[in-house]
Amino acid sequence: MKKSFLSSLRRGLRTVAAVSVASGALVMVASKCSTVASPEPIGHQTRSLVFEDGGCDLPLDATMDLYAIDAALVSMNTDTVANGSFVRWVEGVSGFQTDMIKSQIAAGATVPATISALNARLNTSTYPITDLTYGLVFLSVIGQAHDASSVSPLNTFINQAAPTMTCPIRDGGLPDGDYITPLNCDEMLRVRATQMLAYIETIHPNPRLLMTNTLSLAKYHPSSAVRQAAIDAYMFNRGDTTDASDYLSSQIDASDRIFIGRPRMYGDFDASAFDDKLSAWYDAHPEQVPIVDAGTDVVLTTVNCNIDGGF
Amino acid sequence: MRIRNAIVGGVVLLTVSLAGDAKATPTCPFSTFDEDNKTILFMPHTVPAWNALLSTNGTMTDQASWNDGEGFGTLDITKPFTKLAAAISVVGFYRYDSWWGWHPNGQYLTEGMTLDSRFHSQSHWSYNDEDKNGVEASTYSEWGVHYTQFKCPLFNDNPGTNNTSERAVTIVHEHWHLTLHDHGLNQHHRTGPIGSCMNTDASCDYYYPHLVHDYLPGGESGGDLAYFRESTSATFNGTGHALYHSAYQVGLEYACDLGQFSKPEVPKATTITATGIATGRANTNFINIVGWRCGQPLPF
């Protein structure tokens, strides 16, 4: 039996070899890869970070230079709006150069033709948005330009029936395991546009039209995400006052009133004030706190890895 | 008998020989350019992160899956391997470790790495060409080994998910499944539609609210990401709440921390997108209403 099995195995081996060659199947051999030196810095600030030995299991180098990209200025004009180079420039600008973005937009916004060029690109049938980041930053530029003429095209953009952007759809047949699914980028753009519309509407030349479109979105838009954005932006631009809250509550659907008064987490926030407001919101809406089963505490060792040596 | 033995022997050997095969040609069309990645590439931490992936490739990555058009061993911003290195550098170095925002960055980094940590045991990262328009990544365990597969939508022409912020959030999200699993907790999403989550697949989670500064009756800090407590002994203004995170919750809080509390060198492409992702996830993936919003509704 052993002899017959071995001979069968040899026949099988010849068969497999033929199949493997035919299919081009290869077994990859791991090769020793060389490391790559960091590119030459093109910025002008160099600092060193030192990792403190806090018992962290970080596999990276202990010291590395931190520097900023030296972004050459790009003006906002009809050409740079049309070819997308202005928005692309804004995308690459570092956070500490935000004032540079604002100054370039302020300068460009004094030219009506530039504003018209921006507004025209809210027509997604003519100028389709093909990149989520580009779309979000483009809308931010329109908001920062702060021109009343953008209100109408923004409103059209938010309410249009056709998708503002074509996103991937799932094939179905979801894989085994625990997964993360793509976001609705069309809705994300409408939310961002709603925030920008509200920001611009606060300076509408006709006081009778202040925030009317934002209020209309909060009342009538079919997307809950857009209504939530409109509610939050309305309150923000009205100073989060009690008067604003009372008026808004009287206008929107009763089921949406729960979205009024949520605290915002942002860069300069006051953590204590945030916690107070968060507690107050959950006080008012205890049904939003999920119930979990009582169980044993599980506490992980809280070793903080201090990877920031400071400036 | 001889024919049967030949077939059995052939099948065994065929299975072994195909075990390490790479696919012939990737079917996922990779994007050629995006400003986000161009900027990320020239941030200094991308290269060390990339080097780290190479130096530990035997344990961290399924090299074969990244080695047929996916750019293993090459510094190419259009290829998945470099894009993943950029995402790791974002998780590791784009925020301070001080407690600004929801959680200190060192915790997200340790949780996001594939190596053994206090969060989870070692995991292996692979690339999967399937699900061109499907999920972004999936995590599973097999024979006690953790695997995370990063899939086509994170790297290809699909415009909504092919960005560095989403990749960084995905790393943190997927490893949270491992963290829950390794601590005997339920790591699975729930199938919608349920509550405020209108999705019809398994992509709904509860949001377990906590304060930025949460304290327990004994005075211990309860807001630490590394703290699990499935009990209601810690009160939330009398309501009671669990110090616990679901996978979409960790991703949401990380996305907002990345969007709002990044170092000043971080480009606008990353922060604006991350804030948008946080808002999107809060709107889309939770059964209960998330009681806060990410960012202020301002342009910059």
* Distance in Å from the first CA to the final CA of chain A: 76
Which residues of chain A are modeled with pLDDT < 70? 1-71, 168-177, 204-209, 291-311
pLDDT value at residue B112? 85
What span, in angstroms and rounded, lies between the C-alpha atoms of A127 and A292? 49
pLDDT tens per residue across span B265-280: 788 989 999 999 999 9
A298 and chain B in contact, CB less than 8 A: yes
Q: Are strands A63-66 and B123-128 parallel, antiparallel or unpaired?
A: unpaired
Under the banding of pLDDT at 50, 70 and 90, the label for residue B219 is low
pLDDT value at residue A112? 97
pLDDT tens per residue across span A155-194: 999 999 999 998 765 555 565 567 777 788 999 999 999 9
Residue among A253, A261, A207 at smallest CA distance from A234? A261
B111 and chain A in contact, CB less than 8 A: no
pLDDT value at residue A66? 39
Query: Are the CB atoms for B263 and A192 separated by under 8 Å?
Result: no
Residue among B138, B169, B140 at smallest CA distance from B152? B138
Do A295 and B231 count as a contact with CB atoms less than 8 A apart?
A: yes
Q: How far is A208 from chain B (nearest CA, A)?
A: 22
pLDDT value at residue B36? 58
Of B139, B189, B231, the CB nearest to A297: B231
B residues 232..261 contacting A (CB < 8 A): 232, 236-242, 244, 247-248, 251, 256, 260-261
What is the count of residue pairs from A and B with beta carbons less than 8 Å apart? Answer: 446
Q: ipTM higher than 0.90?
A: no
A-interface mutation test, from B290, B293, B294, most A Cβ less than 10 A away: B293
A residues 100..139 contacting B (CB < 8 A): 101-102, 129-134, 136-137
Do B13 and A136 count as a contact with CB atoms less than 8 A apart?
A: no
Q: Tell me the average pLDDT across B256-260.
A: 95
What span, in angstroms and rounded, lies between the C-alpha atoms of B287 and B195? 5
A270 Cβ contact partners less than 8 Å away, ≥ 6 residues apart: none
pLDDT tens per residue across span B148-190: 888 887 887 667 788 889 999 999 999 999 888 887 777 788 8
What span, in angstroms and rounded, lies between the C-alpha atoms of B177 and B194? 20
Return the exposure string of A251-272: e unless at least 16 CB atoms fall within 10 Å of the residue's CB, then b: ebeeebebbbbbbbbbeebeee
State the angle between helix axes of A224-237 and A212-220 in degrees (0 to 180), rounded to the nearest 10: 150
A35 in the Ramachandran plot: left (φ > 0), alpha (ψ -120 to 50) or beta?
beta
Is the pLDDT at B233 greater than 60, yes or no?
Answer: no
Under the banding of pLDDT at 50, 70 and 90, the label for residue B18 is very low
Query: Are the CB atoms for B138 and A176 separated by under 8 Å?
Result: yes
- Give the residue on B whose Cα is nearest the Cα of A225: B283
Q: How far is B61 from chain A (nearest CA, A)?
A: 11
What span, in angstroms and rounded, lies between the C-alpha atoms of B130 and B136? 10
Do B1 and A4 count as a contact with CB atoms less than 8 A apart?
A: yes
pLDDT value at residue A61? 36
Residue among A42, A43, A44, A121 at smallest CA distance from A76? A121
A residues 42..61 contacting B (CB < 8 A): 42, 56-61
A-interface mutation test, from B188, B279, B287, B290, most A Cβ less than 10 A away: B279
pLDDT value at residue A25? 31
How many Cα atoms are found within 13 Å in the side-chain-facing hemisphere of A264? 21
pLDDT value at residue B216? 60
pLDDT value at residue A305? 39
Tokens of A272: 């204590």
Give how far Cα B246 sits from Cα of A259, A287, B204, Å. Answer: 22, 18, 10
pLDDT tens per residue across span B133-157: 567 888 888 887 888 888 887 887 6
pLDDT value at residue A233? 97
Give how far Cα B191 sits from Cα of A47, A82, A167, A290, Å. Answer: 48, 44, 22, 16
Burial class (CB in 10 A: 0-12, 13-18, 19+), A285: middle
B32 and chain A in contact, CB less than 8 A: no
**In chain B, pLDDT over 90 holds for what percent of residues?**
22
Give how far Cα B174 sits from Cα of A22, A170, B146, B282, B300, Å. Answer: 38, 19, 11, 17, 30
What span, in angstroms and rounded, lies between the C-alpha atoms of B109 and A57? 10
B-interface mutation test, from A21, A53, A97, A179, most B Cβ less than 10 A away: A179
A255 and chain B in contact, CB less than 8 A: no
Q: Which residues sit opposite A94 in a β-bridge?
A: B267
Q: What is the mean pLDDT of chain B?
A: 75
B-interface mutation test, from A87, A138, A139, A178, most B Cβ less than 10 A away: A178
How many Cα atoms are found within 13 Å in the side-chain-facing hemisphere of B275? 29
Tokens of B154: 């994170």
pLDDT value at residue B57? 47
pLDDT value at residue B44? 55
Is the pLDDT at B91 greater than 70, yes or no?
Answer: yes
Helices assigned H by DSSP within chain A: 2-23, 78-82, 85-92, 98-108, 112-120, 132-145, 151-159, 185-201, 212-220, 224-237, 242-251, 271-284
Is the pLDDT at B256 greater than 60, yes or no?
Answer: yes
